[in-house]
Structures are given as structure tokens and as C-alpha cells.
Amino acid sequence: SYELTQPPSVSVSPGQTASITCSGDKLGNKNACWYQQKPGQSPVLVIYQDNRRPSGIPERFSGSNSGNTATLTISGTQAVDEADYYCQAWDTSLYVFGTGTKVTVL
């Protein structure tokens, strides 16, 4: 079965850049998305099609996907960005979520 691996946690200072990686076999050949989930809330889509932002998502969120790694980058991180982040890869018959990364804004 297909697996996506993320670091369990990432710490970042306010105003700095946070990068979250997502690793999977030939992930660059699939579509990648990223979701933000805050405690007690449903996930929210922040990146789709590797690097596109839904309306309403701040420009500080960006994404890339190449080779075996997709990356979510949060530039100028704010306290409100503290949350769990999940990557997702999908194709015709398979949706897979990453293991999740807790982003802490110190």
C-alpha cells in the first residue's frame, strides 16, 4: 500500500518560515494537497494541485511537489498558523493521507 511520511513536529518562531515535507514513492507523479486542522475542528484545504491556493487562504501558504517529496511552506508564520498539517496524494482509485505534522509557533 502507498504511504506518505511527514515529520511529527515542526517548530517555528513568529515571522519565520516553516517547511513541512511529505515523502512518498514517486509522489511528484501524483497530485498533492495539504490540509490544516486545528483542535476540535474539521480539516481545511490550504493547497491543492501541488501549489494552488483555494480562495481565502493567505498567500503565505505555498506548495511544491517533485520527485519523492512534496513541501508545504508557510512564510512569515503567525500564531494563528499553529495546527496539525496533513498532506494527501490521490489518483483514480486511491486517496492517501500523510502521517501529519504538528506545527508549533514558539
Partner 1 sequence: EVQLVESGGGLIQPGGSLRLSCAASGFTVSNNYMSWVRQAPGKGLEWVSLIYSGGSTYYADSVKGRFTISRDNSKNTLFLQMNSLRAEDTAVYYCARGTDIVPTDYWGQGTLVTVTS
Nearest to 10 by CA among 27, 25, 22: 22
Q: What are residue 47's DSSP bridge partners?
A: 34
For residues 80 to 99, the per-residue mask of contacts with partner 1, x marking binding by CB under 8 A and - elsewhere, is ----x-x-x-x--xxxxxxx
> How many residues in the chain?
106
Q: Which is nearer to partner 1, 35 or 77 (CB)?
A: 35
Minimum distance of partner 1 from residue 8's CB (angstroms): 10
**Distances in Å between the alpha carbon of 52 and those of 2, 16, 56, 58, 97?**
23, 21, 12, 11, 18
Give the three-class secondary structure for 79.
helix
Q: Which of 49, 66, 78, 104 binds partner 1 (CB under 8 A)?
A: 49
Whether the Cβ atoms of residue 93 and residue 2 lie closer than 8 Å to each other:
no
Q: Which of 10, 46, 100, 105 binds partner 1 (CB under 8 A)?
A: 100
Q: Which is nearer to partner 1, 58 or 95 (CB)?
A: 95
- Contacts to partner 1 by CB under 8 A: 1, 31, 33, 35, 37, 42-45, 48-49, 54, 84, 86, 88, 90, 93-100
